Amino acid sequence: MANYKGSTIEEAIEAGLADLNVTRKSVTVSTIVEPKKGFLGFGKRLAEIEMSVIEAPKSNETVKVPEEKAPETKPKVNSEVQHKTDEVNHESKAEVQRHPQVKDQAIEPETSSRPRLNEEIVSQMQEYLAKIVTQLGIEATSTSKFHHRDVSIEFRTEQEGMLIGKHGRTINALQTLAQVFLLHRGISHANVKLNVENYRERRTETLQHLAENTAREVVATGEPVFLDPMPAFERKVIHATLSENHFVSTFSEGHEPHRYVVVALVQDEQL
């Protein structure tokens, strides 16, 4: 049993998991102190949690998902920018809880009674994201395009490391907020993708290599491998990469935002 602190409850939990080298499902967590953001660093209070490890089978080991390192940028992230980035992440998680349909799920057919994507709505969403990016202290321009249900927004900036964020958290949070923006306008069938300097393509390639290496490990050891939690669109990459591998199966477990992929060996009778 140990105590850990962080700017948010989630950060405190992550610190504990990293220190104990365990997965979220292997521990119990109790909140001791709720965080307080303060204003521009004043009156800020860190979150504090108590973490206890639950005895778990040795085979349930978690594989760290390789980071797609964001290029370093000359401007340093000051405390105010970091504070606003945390707010973006917090807001996106809150919106997902209020709109559970933002998940890895089948897309429902369009009906004539539903609002449809159009150039005006996409432009409004682009402006909405631009305001948030500016509030983060990032100078960036963006271009957008859409086709039927797919919306793509490409950012250009010299501060791409700040825009991507640690583990891609900032750009992923912005992407979630973009999806929620459309939901507020009655559009639940759109797929939104934000990108900067081909980050998504690099990340996809990293995940594909991870999936293939994990499959080889599972076949060699016969033990299932539990990957780190990742967003639904990244879990799809793992599932798709191994969909034609007849020696392993993949499935997701857990609850958002801690849902993760399990890669397991296919039993002989299933082959």
- Topology classification of domain 201-270: Ribosomal Protein S8; Chain: A, domain 1 (3.30.1370)
**CA-CA distance, 191 to 175, in Å (whole number)?**
10
Domain with CATH 3.30.300.20 in the chain: 79-197
pLDDT at 140: 97
81-98 pLDDT per residue, tens: 455 555 555 555 555 555
- Topology classification of domain 79-197: GMP Synthetase; Chain A, domain 3 (3.30.300)
Beta carbons of 89 and 56 less than 8 angstroms apart: no
* DSSP per residue, 6-67: ESSHHHHHHHHHHHHT--GGGEEEEEEE--B--BTTBT-B-EEEEEEEPP--TT-PEEPPPP
The residue type found at 159 is Q
pTM for the model stands at 0.60
Q: Does the pLDDT at position 17 exceed 90?
A: no
**CA-CA distance, 21 to 9, in Å (whole number)?**
18
Residue 14's pLDDT band (cuts 50, 70, 90): confident
Domain with CATH 3.30.1370.50 in the chain: 201-270
Residue 105's pLDDT band (cuts 50, 70, 90): very low
**CA-CA distance, 93 to 98, in Å (whole number)?**
9
Q: Which residue has the tokens 């990016």?
A: 133
